A and B are shown apart, each in its own frame.
Chain A
Amino acid sequence: QSALTQPASVSGSPGQSITISCTGTSSDVGSYNLVSWYQQHPGKAPKLMIYEGSKRPSGVSNRFSGSKSGNTASLTISGLQAEDEADYYCCSYAGSSTSVFGGGTKLTVL
Chain B
Amino acid sequence: QVQLVQSGAEVKKPGASVKVSCKASGYTFTSYYMHWVRQAPGQGLEWMGIINPSGGSTSYAQKLQGRVTMTRDTSTSTVYMELSSLRSEDTAVYYCARGTTMVRGVIVYWGQGTLVTVSS
Contacts and interface: CB of A to CB of B under 8 A. Distances in A.
A51 B106 contact: yes
Interface in A69-99: 87, 89, 91, 93, 96-99
Contacts of A38: 45, 107
Contact of B61 (A1, A40, A46): A1
B55 interface: no
Contacts of B63: 1
Nearest to A51: B106
A38 B59 CA distance: 22
A91 B97 CA distance: 13
Contacts, number: 60
* A48, A89, A98 interface centre (most CB from chain B within 10 Å): A98
Contacts of B107: 36, 38, 46, 48, 91, 99
Contacts of B108: 48, 57
Size bin of chain B's contact surface = 20 to 34
Interface in A10-44: 32, 34, 36, 38, 40
Size bin of chain A's contact surface = 20 to 34
A89 to B, nearest CB: 5
Contacts of B104: 32, 34, 93, 97
B44 A48 contact: no
A55 to B, nearest CB: 9
B80 interface: no
B110 A45 contact: yes
A43 to B, nearest CB: 9
